[in-house]
Chains A and B, each alone.
Chain A
Amino acid sequence: MFTAVTTFLLIVAGALVTSNEAGLSVPDWPTSFGSMYRLPAMVGGIKYEHSHRMIAEFLGLLTIAIAVWTMRADRRPWLKKLAWGALATIIVQGILGGITVLKFLPPLVSTAHAIVGQTFFCIAVAIAVFTGQKWVSQAPQQVQEYSPSLRTLTLLSLAVLYVQLFLGGMFRHKGMDWQPHVLNAMLVVVVLTWTAVVALIRYPRMEAIRRPAILILALEFVQVGLGFLALITKVMLGKDAPQPTLDMVSSTVAHTAVGALLLASTAVLAIQAWRHLAAANMQAMRAGDATVAA
């Protein structure tokens, strides 16, 4: 859970870098002004970029610790693979961050950095779920699915959210206009609402399903509002702004942060749906849990 919270802070720090246009305030990488350890004067854009780098380094260490701990203390092979996958993901993420600095923020690379960052957040949240008390102590329920299955809907939700993340990232990093992001937002609202409502109507008594579904609806509502706010402050009012203003920065950072929470909540709903509603496919995972419980 601590790793997931740190990842969320890192996403906020990264969003602050982009919103304050500070991505290139430290021109070198992996060093900062030629040093790996010396703290530069934390002023102007440097305070955003260097803070982002320091939190990222800390998260890298945490991820190594999780991978080693999982190898030694957990008996579930798939969780060990996931922990090492998390480590591989954060290494890729660090390299993408370096490339985007050294290549002067190409939109595709910066967007990939945003997407992989939020994917790592989902992995960190998933590991927190998998190592939580409830996951280990509660056996999967074998509940009958209906068509369209919630499992399918959660995957569809993740797909439209990733498209949205790509479009938002490309707009934010000046590789695309804002209209595709806003158009796809309508599709995201429809698919996520459909998924969450189906989850709540069909499985109102399953806490593992109900809680992320409610969270998705609440976050979706907030996210649409923040999206409008970001559009107004950044695109309309801030078109000729000589520098990022507080309203532009706060709305865009909040929009990015809530977007990450929405993606992670959807990932959790998908995980729980596949655990509790897909009994036939969960034999291996249950077996692994039984081993841990033993």
Chain B
Amino acid sequence: MKHIVRILCILLLILDVLTVTMVAGAQAKKAVSGAAAGPSFSGTVKFEGKAPAPRKIDMSGDPACKGQNEAENIVSENGGLGNVFVYVKDGLNGKSFPAPKTPVTIDQNGCRYLPHVAGVMAGQPVKFNNSDAAMHNVHPRPHNNPDWNESQQPKGDPIVKTFGNPDVMIPIVCNQHPWMKMFLNVVNNPYYAVSSKDGKFSLKGLPPGTYTIAAVHEKLGEQTIKVTIGDKGATGDFTFKAQ
């Protein structure tokens, strides 16, 4: 009987050690990914001047379109500028990053593309959904990637595509509904973000170093700043002026 108890105790001990090892391993793994998410570059894209009043759009050409009826060229709240694509343009010294296999999803909802500005890594899938009861055609007009144009039935199957080359501010339109336009940004590193309505952005996980950070807006063009990221990250702002 004593032997059995001893054996059980030893087994429990082994199990305990194994459990502790597994938990520690998981935490260590988390720490690695936490390191990847380490320092960040964050800031605000500011907007100086008066933002133009949103322009009305007329969707009556297609009875199946029942979304909002305002254009979204310049989105500004509390002095910030939204829909600005911020990314590391230079400074990664030829480092390569594997493209995620998880697709970036673009939806067509209310006869508009959501989101209006998106980022994706070169080679990462982009999934175009159609939540509308309207037929659409998804038509990117890239600068450094092949052009394509595909129609999509109402609530039809997703269109999944990849963009192989870096290509910033690719307009994606729907020729059936000429007000529908979004901008896709293809980059070859994972350090990018799209500013929120109040202009806030954060590029997470940047290794310490000196980088050129670019901020690109569909109407207001591109601005760049040079920043040095330390262990605790860095901050910096961009300022776009009304044209």
Contacts and interface: CB of A to CB of B under 8 A. Distances in A.
Interface of A: 20-27, 33, 40-41, 43-47, 49, 104, 240-244
Interface of B: 52, 55, 57-58, 61-65, 71, 73, 134-135, 137, 139, 141, 147, 149-151, 175-179, 181, 219
B63 A243 contact: no
Most interface-central of B57, B64, B149, B150 (chain A CB within 10 A): B149
B40 to A, nearest CB: 34
24 contacts: A20-B178, A21-B178, A22-B176, A24-B139, A24-B175, A27-B137, A27-B149, A27-B150, A27-B151, A43-B63, A43-B134, A43-B135, A44-B62, A44-B135, A44-B176, A45-B175, A45-B176, A46-B135, A47-B61, A104-B149, A240-B219, A242-B73, A242-B179, A244-B178
B contact patch SS: loop
A24 B178 contact: no
Nearest to B135: A41
Contact of B151 (A33, A47, A242): A33
Contacts, number: 66
Contact of A44 (B57, B177, B181): B177
A44 B151 CA distance: 13
A21 B176 CA distance: 8
Nearest to A20: B178
Contact of A242 (B57, B135, B137): B57
A23 B63 CA distance: 20
Contacts of A22: 175-176, 178
A243 B58 contact: yes
A25 B139 CA distance: 9
A44 B73 contact: no
Nearest to A22: B175
A109 B146 CA distance: 18
Given A25-B176, A240-B73, A43 B137 contact: no
